[in-house]
Structure 1
Amino acid sequence: MTTPRLVATDLDGTLVRSDGTVSPYTHDVIEALDARGVPVVFVTGRPLRWAEEVFGYVGAHGLAIVSNGALVWDVARDAVDLTRAVPVADGLEACTLIREAVPGSAFAVETLDGIALEPEFLERHPLPDSAPRGPLDRIFRGPALKVLARHEELDPQEFWTAAEEAVGERLVVTWSSASTLLEMSAPGVTKASTLALLCERMGVDRSEVVAFGDMPNDLPMLEWVGRSYAMANAHPSVLAVADHVAPDHDDDGVARVLAGLFDA
């Protein structure tokens, strides 16, 4: 493979360390690539409100893929570049099917305006004070960037399998959390499919892309690119698919690999 023309990297468990920071070394490597005209595109499952915390590291190209591909955010302009949202009817139908198949499921909806939750949805992260709670048909009022499903008794793999069987091809179901939290996107919307749209726009072939990830929501992206790296701390399914293994995210694995690939 020739030297990559574009880098795509997940954030949590990949570029971001366990303490939630991006190291100075990683920052320096990203800046070095950006100076050479090699964009480092953040491709994350985070909603916009969390992704903004690390936008200072994006670089001059100023684009980030957010919410597992449902949103491309123009960081430089602080504006929407592209949305690929879940229609209300499709989302409500999928949630009904999951609830019937897996009693005890609770749901939340992520939009550009933030998150809205059912009363039973137990969020592990701090919520905005303005986040509403209510029945699903009242909080799901417009297209969603992500539909979230949580279960307090099943393990993530068990819940994922059951939800996928219930939903079929109506939505894309994946997960990236240590807790039992599923993330659902519109049909065909993954990190890979939105990255493909971005690469086409930039004139970059998939063979010229190197990508890094650690969780099942990264699988489509890692399978699509020309060269893929699973982090040493990655989920077993990711380690099984990736071409290579990068050092642990707490050891600046992404930056160390990139420094070697680009002699930075």
Structure 2
Amino acid sequence: MSPPRLIATDLDGTLVHSDGSITPRTQAALLAAEAAGVEVVFVTGRPLRWAKDVFDHVGGHGHAIVSNGALIWDVATSSPYLVRAFESAIAVEVADRIRDAVPGTHYAVETLDGIALETGFLERYPVPEGSLRGSFEEIAGRPVLKILARHEELDPQSFWDAALAVAADLAEITWSSATTLLEISAHQVTKASTLAVFAAERGIGPDEVVAFGDMPNDLPMLEWAGTSYAMANAHPSVRAIATHVAGTNDDDGVAEVIEQLLDS
């Protein structure tokens, strides 16, 4: 297989080790790909505030697709390249529908300014001091990149199924967490659709893209890319649709594949 023109890789559970690190081997593989003229794009569910931690590894000129496709960030200029946010009224309608169907649902939202949370949303990680808390209408007063829906009693699959049943016509609903946390984007905004826009602007087709992922939020991207790798640690649904399986994230599976692609 000849080297692709673009490598698109998820972060957590894919490129990043379980301890949150990116190893020297992986860093070297990414740099070698860029030196060979291959564009490397991080495509992650992470919000901008978390994704920034690893931007150095796409190079100072690179781009990152964050919040499951709701934002392309220009790393070089530290500014938005493309924003695909919810319309405010649609965000409220989606939240209302899911909460009506699944009482006990609580929300947070990611915006360009950071996270905002309903008072009942129980976060698992520290949030920035001064983050807005209030009703959904209050926290969704700024353009919403991603809605986070949490339930403390259901399992992820049951919550996902229930949400899809009532709101799939208005939004893209997926998940990538070990906890019951849904990630909801505007209709037709996925990792795949945003990556397709980015690639098309550069004259790159799906058959020239290699993509890596591990969780259900990666499914559209892996189905779109001409060559796709599920990590060995991936969710069963991801392994079922990928064209190949890479080693685990903790075994530098992405780096191993990139090394092979560049040597072929």
- TM-score scaled by structure 2? 0.98
Q: What is the identity, as a one-letter code, of the residue corresponding to 1:20?
A: G
What's 2:131 paired with?
Answer: 131
Runs of 4+ in structure 1 deviating by more than 2 angstroms, as ranges, are none
What's 1:28 paired with?
Answer: 28
Q: How does 1:1-264 map to 2 (within 5 A)?
A: 2-263=2-263
d(CA) in 2 for partners of 1:139, 1:76 = 30
Question: How far did 1:60 drift?
Answer: 4.8
Unpaired runs of 5+ residues, structure 1, are none
How high is the sequence identity, in percent, across the aligned residues?
Answer: 62
Provide Cα deviations, 1:71-111, integer angstroms capped at 9, x if missing partner: 00000111110000011100100110001100000011110
d(CA) in 1 for partners of 2:63, 2:140 = 28
d(CA) in 2 for partners of 1:262, 1:2 = 8
Q: Is the 8 A contact 1:10 1:43 kept in 2?
A: yes
d(CA) in 1 for partners of 2:21, 2:105 = 32
Question: How far did 1:59 drift?
Answer: 2.1
d(CA) in 1 for partners of 2:239, 2:35 = 31
Q: Is the 8 A contact 1:87 1:142 kept in 2?
A: no
Q: Is the 8 A contact 1:192 1:221 kept in 2?
A: yes
Unpaired runs of 5+ residues, structure 2, are none
d(CA) in 2 for partners of 1:76, 1:9 = 19
d(CA) in 1 for partners of 2:135, 2:3 = 51
The number of residue pairs the alignment matches comes to 264
Q: What is the identity, as a one-letter code, of the residue corresponding to 2:224?
A: W
CA-based RMSD: 1.0
- TM-score scaled by structure 1? 0.98
